[in-house]
Structure 1
Amino acid sequence: MTRVVFLLVPGVHLLDLAGPAQVFSSAADLVNGYALSYVGDADTVLSHQGVPLGASRELPSLSVDDLVFVPGWRSPKIVGTGHLSERALAWLRAHYDGGGTVASVCAGADALGRAGLLEGRRCTTHHELQEELARRYPAAHVVRDVLFVEDNRVVTSAGIASGIDLALHLVAVRHGPAVAAAIARTMVIYARRNGDDQQDSVLMRHRSHINETVHRIQDVIESRLAERLSLSELAIHAGCSERTVTRLFGRATGMTPLKYQQALRVERAEHLIGQGATVEMAARNVGFEDARMLRRLRSR
């Protein structure tokens, strides 16, 4: 059981909290194994929108598989806002030191900074707070104008709706793109994943259509990413002819099913390489027979 614990700060923005919480709640429905909880320095934390939120003052002991989220709060300026006790900040730091992952939305990055988790790391926050965050933590490298940044188990996002993107990314890393895409469709949003050099993903670019037949084909490709899938097999799943698969898929996505699978494989391989895998290991993991094809596709 993976615990997702939200550390609530006075003035918390509801969407900063509710977006990621909905993603992991939906993940629990699809793959089980997730439990959500909410902690803070008081039994009741008042959101910026005026909704009182219940929280536990007991800070739980966590495992390396658990996640801690710090949603953002109302903060035209970071200084003087987002009060958290030293006890809460020490708990946040201890979870990271024990091998766990910590994440923030919007101004929540400042809480990670106060816990000493931004030093020497790439991070981001809401565009209105980026310059102040950089001044407050000069040893951090604040990346401007991206949705989120992941650096060695410290994940920070730009704010508000980007917390959903961050949560979908973490689900995709743990369970694969098909599960993340299914959650995004359940939430009636685009599946979205951001790397260091691009703001949208293959899922984002090619899942924005409304053709359910093509969605079913994409579901098969994403859930069996590393397998060889023939056009005839995809046609069986789609309930139509191979010619119709090619025509509908091209019209909805602008590419063939094979090109789509290759693009997903390269994107997944890029993530694995960014996490320390060799090109050879990444190629095998995503279904390439050897690293030569992956190198050719990456060079394009």
Structure 2
Amino acid sequence: MSQVVFVLLPGVHLLDLAGPAQAFHSAAVLGESYRLWYVAEREQVPSAQGLPLAAETRWPELGPDDLVVVPGWRGPTLRDAPPPRAEDLARLRAHHAAGGTVASVCAGAEALGQAGLLDGRRCTTHHDLQDELAARYPRATVVRDVLFTIDDRVVTSAGIASGIDLALHLLSVRHGPAVAAKVARDMVVYARRNGHEPQASAMLRYRSHVDDTVHRVQDLIDSRFAEPLPLAYLAARAGVSERTLTRAFTRATGGLTPLRYQQALRLERAQHLISHGTVVESAAREVGFEDARMLRRLRAH
């Protein structure tokens, strides 16, 4: 079972916390193995919206597959933020050093900065705080006006609703796009936004359009991308001709055919498997390629 630990500071913004928490909770309800924890200095944490939150004061034992998230909090500046506990900062550093992933939503990037995890890495935060974050951590590269960034298992997002986009991306990378699409549907949100970054999942990168027919076909490809999906079959499921589907799909995705979109999903999943130790030949078979030649060709480009 993977654990997701939310580090709560006084004045935490409810949506910074609730968005990603709901995404991972929904994934657990849908069958993925997650346990959520909430840790803080005290057992009761005041939120920015006035609702008190209950928390644990002790951290669970963590492994490399676990995720630690610092949601944002109320405050006009980062300098005025409630200081994280030295124990929390040490835990963030140790978890990352042990191969784990750490993430922040909105002003939570300040905690990662205090832990020394932004130095030499790309990061982002809410647009109102970007200049201050850059000034406070000059060794970091603050990427402006994006929804999220990922750099060496240090994940930062812009804040508020972007925490949902971040969580969906992490679920897509870990479990494949079909799981993230199911979570998005369970939450009744459109899984369409992306971080405008190379690391953004293909499921999100090519969803920034309003063509319902293309979205339905993408949903089908997302859930079955490892299977052969002939154009005729996709067109029949969408209730349009092959030519109409190809034209609509290409227009909506900025130039991709359904086949190319499916290959993008396969490539992304294969690269994730390879990065976790799977050999190229096995990764190619798992994502639906007959052999590794096509996968090697796609990776070369």
Shorter chain as denominator, the TM-score bin is 0.7 to 0.9
The aligned amino acid for 1:196 is: E
For 2:81 and 2:172, how far apart are their aligned partners in 1?
33
1:221 corresponds in structure 2 to 221
**Aligned-residue offset at 1:218:** 3.0
2:261 equivalent to 1:260 = no
2:39 equivalent to 1:56 = no
**Normalised TM-score (structure 2):** 0.83
**Normalised TM-score (structure 1):** 0.83
1:99 corresponds in structure 2 to 99
**Between the two proteins, what is the percent identity of the paired residues?**
55
For 1:79 and 1:141, how far apart are their aligned partners in 2?
19
For 2:132 and 2:94, how far apart are their aligned partners in 1?
26
Distance verdict in 2 for CA 1:23–1:105, change over 3 Å: same
For 1:28 and 1:122, how far apart are their aligned partners in 2?
30
The aligned amino acid for 1:290 is: M
The aligned amino acid for 2:179 is: V
2:31 corresponds in structure 1 to 31
**Aligned-residue offset at 1:249:** 7.7
Distance verdict in 2 for CA 1:250–1:101, change over 3 Å: same
Where does 1:225-236 land on structure 2 (aligned, <5 Å)?
Answer: 225-234=225-234
RMSD (Å) for aligned C-alpha atoms: 3.3
2:207 corresponds in structure 1 to 204
For 1:22 and 1:105, how far apart are their aligned partners in 2?
14
Contact persistence 2:41–2:57 (CA under 8 A): yes
Distance verdict in 2 for CA 1:271–1:230, change over 3 Å: closer
Number of matched pairs: 289
For 2:296 and 2:138, how far apart are their aligned partners in 1?
41
Q: Where do 5+ consecutive residues of structure 1 fail to align?
A: none
Contact persistence 2:146–2:195 (CA under 8 A): yes
Distance verdict in 2 for CA 1:295–1:117, change over 3 Å: closer
The aligned amino acid for 1:204 is: R
For 2:266 and 2:110, how far apart are their aligned partners in 1?
30
Distance verdict in 2 for CA 1:239–1:247, change over 3 Å: closer
**Aligned-residue offset at 1:180:** 1.1
Q: Where do 5+ consecutive residues of structure 2 fail to align?
A: none
For 1:59 and 1:198, how far apart are their aligned partners in 2?
30
Name the SS of the counterpart of 1:229 in structure 2.
Answer: coil
1:133 corresponds in structure 2 to 133
Name the SS of the counterpart of 1:69 in structure 2.
Answer: strand
The aligned amino acid for 1:221 is: I
Contact persistence 1:10–1:83 (CA under 8 A): no
Where does 1:1-300 land on structure 2 (aligned, <5 Å)?
Answer: 1-191=1-191, 192-196=193-197, 201-206=204-209, 208-210=210-212, 217-234=217-234, 238=237, 243=240, 247=244, 254=251, 259-266=257-264, 269=267, 284=284, 289-290=293-294, 294=298
For 1:124 and 1:239, how far apart are their aligned partners in 2?
38
Name the SS of the counterpart of 1:228 in structure 2.
Answer: coil
Q: Segments of 4+ in structure 1 off by > 6 A?
A: 270-277
**Aligned-residue offset at 1:21:** 0.6
Contact persistence 2:270–2:287 (CA under 8 A): no
For 2:82 and 2:274, how far apart are their aligned partners in 1?
34
Contact persistence 1:106–1:157 (CA under 8 A): yes
For 2:246 and 2:187, how far apart are their aligned partners in 1?
23
**Aligned-residue offset at 1:202:** 3.9
For 2:88 and 2:142, how far apart are their aligned partners in 1?
24
